[in-house]
């Protein structure tokens, strides 16, 4: 097609444990844990009329009322740390979560 173009982007991988079992997930735009992951879980479970119109914003509002910080152990390169976190996000792109600008200076390509 006329005007088509290709763009090379990094693909990230997150390695984690679920119920004691090692898992891997690949991502192109963003990967996160903590508050942002809780918002997605609430958004996916919601079936109210307001959630249909503004799903991610509804999820944020519901999560603000119930979220508690999580203790996580994370490793970046050779550094491993355990901390109480609100959220950890890794991003290739600028936007996620329905257009929120998480990484304003990111360049996907």
Q: Where are the domains of the chain?
A: 12-101
Give pLDDT, residue 20.
93
Give pLDDT, residue 81.
95
Helix (H, G, I), strand (E, B) or coil at 10: coil
End-to-end CA distance of the chain: 21
Number of Cβ atoms within 10 Å of the Cβ of 51: 19
Whether residue 74 contacts residue 32, with contact meaning beta carbons closer than 8 Å, is answered with no
Phi, psi torsion values for 89, nearest 5 degrees: -135, 140
Q: Which two tokens stand for residue 93?
A: 């792109």
Radius of gyration of the chain (CA): 16
Give pLDDT, residue 57.
78
Give pLDDT, residue 47.
63
Tens of pLDDT, residue by residue over 16-75, are: 888 999 999 999 988 989 998 898 888 877 766 555 557 777 788 889 999 999 999 988
The overall pTM is greater than 0.95: no
Range 89-100 average pLDDT: 83
């Amino acid at each position: 097609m006329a005007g088509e173009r290709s763009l090379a982007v990094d693909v990230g991988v997150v390695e984690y444990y679920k119920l004691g079992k090692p898992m891997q997930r690949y991502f192109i735009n963003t990967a996160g844990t903590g508050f942002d992951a809780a918002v997605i879980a609430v958004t996916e479970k919601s079936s109210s009329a307001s959630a249909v119109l503004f799903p991610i914003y509804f999820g944020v509002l519901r999560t603000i009322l119930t979220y508690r910080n999580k203790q996580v152990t994370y490793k970046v390169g050779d550094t491993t740390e355990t901390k109480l976190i609100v959220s950890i996000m890794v991003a290739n792109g600028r936007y996620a979560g329905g257009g929120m600008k998480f990484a304003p200076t990111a360049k996907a390509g």
